[in-house]
Amino acid sequence: MADQKSFPKVPTNPVDWNDPTLVSLLDKTGEWHLDNRLAYPPKDIQIQFGWGGGTVKPAMLVWQGEEAMVIETSFPIEQGEHVRINKYLEDDFGTQWGEVVESRAGHRADDKTNGTHVHWLHMR
C-alpha cells in the first residue's frame, strides 16, 4: 500500500550563513529586483476608466499574456478599477477590458524620476 510506504530521507547540506564568501555574494545581490519589462517591446496605448468609458489617458503596455497585462502610467490607478485598453494595431484598433489587481509606484531609478506607476491587469 502506498500509504504505508516509507520514503527515504534526503540529507540536507548544512549552510554556514556566516561564511565570508557567502555573505559577500549575498551582499552583492541584495538590491537586485526581478524585472521583465525589457523582454517585451513597449507599446503606446490609451486607457479609459469604468465600464462606460470616460476620460482617455495615455499609458504604455510593457507586457501582455493571455489573461493579464502590465501597463505603465504617469499616475496611480486604484486596485479594483475597471479599465478599457485601446491598442493601435498595424492598420486597425483593438480594445480589451481589464481590472487592476495590483498597482504601485515604479522601483527603477528612471521610474522614480519620471513618476512612473506600474499596474497589473487581469483581462476580462
Please list, in sequence order, all residues whose beta carbon lies within 8 angstroms of the beta carbon of residue 60, skipping any fewer than 6 positions away. Answer: 42, 43, 44, 45, 71, 72, 73
Q: Report the pLDDT value the prediction gives residue 59, as an integer from 0 to 100.
A: 94
pLDDT value of position 55: 80
Residues of the chain with pLDDT under 70: 1-8, 10-11, 32-39, 51-53, 89, 91-92
Instruction: Please indicate, yes or no, whether the overall pTM of this predicted structure exceeds 0.85.
Output: no
C-alpha cell at 14: 548544512
User: What's the pLDDT at 32?
Assistant: 67
Q: What is the pLDDT of residue 34?
A: 57
pLDDT of 108 reads: 79
CB 42 within 8 A of CB 59: no
The tens digit of pLDDT for each residue in 16-41 reads 889 898 888 888 877 766 555 566 78
- Beta-bridge mates of residue 123: 98
